[in-house]
Amino acid sequence: MKVQAFGLWQPEPAGLGLWWTSALARGQAMPERSVTDDEELKGRDRHLLVGLLTTALLLIGAPAFADPPITETINQKNIVNTFVDFLPACELGGPLYTFTTTTNRVEHSTTFDDGRIQGTVVETGTFVGVPVEDPSLPTYTGKFTNRNSFFVQNGAVVTNTTTRTVHGTGSDGSTLTIHVTQHVNVPPTGAINEFFRCH
């Protein structure tokens, strides 16, 4: 049997190698070569074996290469906390208040195959603040939102941004409004970049 042309699924004849590919690319005529029935069966067997091995590797290996990131979301509602802290302000210090907060919290994270983690934590809620030492100070009620976004790579925090917004009204009619933004970036080499803003 004489082989005149090779289709996509037929193996290249032995001994032609790269010359065959380059001869075709140069537009040269394809050489005629006699192939025995035994050689033809061996070629088909080799082709079948390569096809089966390729399929097996794709079926076994594809899930490892194509694993999607793992995403996790945790919702918590009506979390009640009581603690003592300074009245929220941009200046340090100030009067101490006992705060009772009721919070809804959502934690969302995505973990990638290479170990990177990206996530956010969002808290929204209400608060009541009662002065600890001076009963002449107003009691505050209001709402707050805390948001934290982070990115972790190689087990270390690379970026972290936190914002906090508080709006409150005092029992004497006064208002309390504060917005805080804090950002930290830790590059693999070089100095840590960070800023803090409060208004």
Q: What distance, in Å, lies between the first and last C-alpha atoms of the chain?
A: 88
Q: What span, in angstroms and rounded, lies between the C-alpha atoms of 162 and 48?
A: 59
What pLDDT is attached to residue 46? 54
- Is 189 exposed, middle or buried, given 0-12, 13-18 or 19+ CB atoms closer than 10 A? exposed
3-state helix, strand, coil in the chain (%, to 5): 20, 50, 30
> Is 80 found in the same domain as 154?
yes
> Is 30 found in the same domain as 108?
no
What pLDDT is attached to residue 197? 95
Answer positive or negative: Cα dihedral of 2, 4, 9, 15: positive
Cβ contact 65:86 at 8 Å: no
What pLDDT is attached to residue 118? 95
What pLDDT is attached to residue 45? 53
Tally of structural domains, the chain: 2
> Is 85 found in the same domain as 57?
no
What pLDDT is attached to residue 10? 32
What pLDDT is attached to residue 51? 54
Q: Please list the rounded mean pLDDT of every run of 10 residues in the chain (199 residues).
A: 33 34 38 48 50 51 67 97 90 91 97 92 97 96 97 85 97 96 86 91
Cβ contact 199:179 at 8 Å: yes
> Is 138 found in the same domain as 124?
yes
Instruction: For residue 85, give its domain range.
Output: 70-198
> Is 162 found in the same domain as 79?
yes
What pLDDT is attached to residue 66? 52
